[in-house]
């Protein structure tokens, strides 16, 4: 399977759990693959707005320009030809994606399009040296994608004290091993705490869990609250909600 096919299979959710982990690991290691993946997402976003229409208008305006000087006209003709050629190539290559966007997505497709594990931040924390050592070790295992071991360490931290960071990363670790109900239980601990720095992240990942479980209404409610209250997640939450609305109308 070439890189293009891998990206398509990943976005469409056609990879196995093991293949998904391998692809994401490669994505972290290969800038070329990461650029190609980002381009694929940017193409979809472009089809959702007016950028392409604006480009067509610009090409039309250039085509209508006139200049009496033969040399200037020749140069403009060459530029126009290049622009039109680029537009034709862009439209033809985007045709496949346009057809996909008009189709109703599945919850699995929406999940794989918008879900990415939260990046880890390891910092010195106040409190017990023993607990902080456990938490640091858990974060390191998480960063290495050893989610089973990370979970064991996060849970050891949580048996000794309440820790919203441990709860959040536990939830994402559960997601990575496809235990979405347990993941939401961890995120709920963060949400119930209310006054913490991880509240919006927990609600975002809760919505992802609901989507993966096929609980569309719960996901929509969570996303609506996030769109109303979070500046960082507002646009992303609204995009996902629109995708879910399309599923419900189908």
Q: Are 9 and 18 in contact (CB under 8 A)?
A: no
Domain finish residue from 38, 71, 103? 103
- Rounded mean pLDDT, 10-29: 78
pLDDT at position 180, please?
A: 97
The better pLDDT of the pair 18, 218 is held by 218
Buried b (16+ CB within 10 A) or exposed e, 105-135: bbbebbbbbbbeebebeeeeeeeeeebeebb
Domain assignment present for residue 108? The answer is no
CA quadruple 233, 211, 22, 118: dihedral sign: positive
Domain finish residue from 84, 103, 122? 103
pLDDT band at 64 (very low <50, low <70, confident <90, very high): low
pLDDT band at 123 (very low <50, low <70, confident <90, very high): low
| Same domain membership, residue 156 and residue 138 | yes
| Same domain membership, residue 94 and residue 144 | no
Reduced to 3 states, what is the DSSP secondary structure of residue 27? helix
| Same domain membership, residue 138 and residue 55 | no
Model confidence at 55: pLDDT above 60: no
| Same domain membership, residue 129 and residue 37 | no
pLDDT band at 28 (very low <50, low <70, confident <90, very high): confident
| Same domain membership, residue 196 and residue 81 | no
| Same domain membership, residue 84 and residue 18 | yes
| Same domain membership, residue 125 and residue 232 | yes
Is-above-0.75 flag for pTM?
A: no
Give the distance from CA 200 to its chain's centroid.
15
Distance, CA of 209 to CA of 75 (rounded, Å): 56
- What is the maximum span of the chain, computed from C-alpha positions, in angstroms? 83
Strand ranges inside the chain, DSSP E? none
Residue 85: domain span: 3-103
Domain assignment present for residue 59? The answer is yes
Distance, CA of 55 to CA of 221 (rounded, Å): 37
The residue written with tokens 């290495």 in the block is 144
pLDDT tens for residues 145-180? Answer: 999 999 999 999 999 999 999 999 999 999 999 999
Give me the number of domains the chain comprises: 2
């Amino acid at each position: 399977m070439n890189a293009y096919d891998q990206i398509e299979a990943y976005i469409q959710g056609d990879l196995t759990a093991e293949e998904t982990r391998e692809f994401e690991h490669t994505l972290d290691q290969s800038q070329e693959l990461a650029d190609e993946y980002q381009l694929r997402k940017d193409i979809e976003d472009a089809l959702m707005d007016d950028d392409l229409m604006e480009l067509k208008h610009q090409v039309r305006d250039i085509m209508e320009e006139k200049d009496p000087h033969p040399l200037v006209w020749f140069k403009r003709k060459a530029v126009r030809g290049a622009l039109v050629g680029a537009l034709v190539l862009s439209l033809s290559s985007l045709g496949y994606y346009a057809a996909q966007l008009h189709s109703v997505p599945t919850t699995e497709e929406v999940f794989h399009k918008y879900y990415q594990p939260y990046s880890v931040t390891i910092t010195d924390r106040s409190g017990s040296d023993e607990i902080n050592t456990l938490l640091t070790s858990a974060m390191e295992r998480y960063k290495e994608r050893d989610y089973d071991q990370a979970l064991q360490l996060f849970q050891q931290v949580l048996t000794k004290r309440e820790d919203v960071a441990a709860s959040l990363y536990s939830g994402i670790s559960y997601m990575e091993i496809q235990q979405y109900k347990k993941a939401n239980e961890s995120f709920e601990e963060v949400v119930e705490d209310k006054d913490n720095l991880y509240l919006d992240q927990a609600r975002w990942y809760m919505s992802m869990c609901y989507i993966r479980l096929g609980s569309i209404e719960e996901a929509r409610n969570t996303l609506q609250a996030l769109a109303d209250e979070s500046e960082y997640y507002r646009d992303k939450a609204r995009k996902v909600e629109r995708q879910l609305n399309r599923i419900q109308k189908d």
